[in-house]
A and B are shown apart, each in its own frame.
Chain A
């Protein structure tokens, strides 16, 4: 059963914008989309979350489509330190529980 779908890998030149897509076609109407990233051997780091409207913070911007079935995380000026695995997360109703479901993530490599 589909939860989130992300491309397994992407690369980006340093200083350019990195646009990471995520499909979450089974998202419920009142469930948020969260983005995290994980640098090797560390715990995931929260980036941003949103419900319906586009969101921006000091780390990134989140664009959510009107039908909420997909979203894009934008790192406006990627640096080498942004190299990490990026996870898009929704909570999926499963047997009465709402399970925060990580996809396989996108391995983003930022190159000089």
Chain B
């Protein structure tokens, strides 16, 4: 079966712009989580959605937002980009809300570079 699909794979944006990243979970998975990975901070949790509702949120500013659609696909948006937002953004899907007892399946990520 198809894995978690993230688009685009690479993106270059200018400071001050906004960006939208997309994630299509594994068919049947209703939970989608987003992570930011940087060399300095490692993997940091952004937010988690289940059935179009945000269930958990990490410690990121309000410029980072997300949403989930009825088909479980998810998007995350970053407004007013800063140089420090350059990172690998990873999406993960799971069968259940909170994924307790279930593993996450990660996509390959979107590499965002802010210049």
Given the known inter-chain contacts A49-B101, A49-B103, please indicate yes or no for A99 contacting B45, CB distance below 8 A: yes
Which of A32, A87, A97, A98 has a CB less than 8 Å from the CB of B43?
A87
Closest to B99 in A: A100
Query: A43 contacts B101, CB within 8 Å?
Result: no
Chain B residues contacting A91 (CB-CB under 8 Å) are 98, 100
Contacting residues of chain B (78-106) with chain A, CB-CB under 8 angstroms: 88, 90, 92, 98-101, 103-106
With A and B bound together, what is the CA distance between A49 and B103 in angstroms?
Answer: 7
Closest to B111 in A: A41
Chain A residues contacting B105 (CB-CB under 8 Å) are 46
Chain A residues contacting B44 (CB-CB under 8 Å) are 102
Chain B residues contacting A49 (CB-CB under 8 Å) are 101, 103
* Interface status of A14 (Cβ within 8 A of chain B): no
Q: Determine chain A's interface SS by DSSP, over half rule.
A: strand
With A and B bound together, what is the CA distance between A44 and B45 in angstroms?
Answer: 13
With A and B bound together, what is the CA distance between A101 and B57 in angstroms?
Answer: 12
Which of A32, A44, A51 has a CB less than 8 Å from the CB of B106?
A44
Which of B48, B90, B101 has a CB less than 8 Å from the CB of A32?
B101
With A and B bound together, what is the CA distance between A36 and B42 in angstroms?
Answer: 14
* Interface status of B108 (Cβ within 8 A of chain A): yes
Least Cβ distance of A90 to chain B in Å?
11
Least Cβ distance of A5 to chain B in Å?
13
Query: A99 contacts B58, CB within 8 Å?
Result: yes
Contacting residues of chain A (17-62) with chain B, CB-CB under 8 angstroms: 30-32, 34, 36, 41-46, 49, 51
Binding site for B on A (CB under 8 A): 30-32, 34, 36, 41-46, 49, 51, 87, 91, 94, 97-105
Would you give 27 A-B contacts (Cβ < 8 Å), ordered by A?
Answer: A32-B101, A34-B103, A36-B104, A36-B106, A42-B108, A43-B4, A43-B107, A43-B108, A43-B109, A44-B90, A44-B104, A44-B106, A46-B104, A51-B101, A91-B100, A94-B59, A97-B57, A100-B45, A100-B48, A100-B99, A100-B104, A101-B45, A102-B42, A102-B43, A102-B45, A104-B42, A105-B42
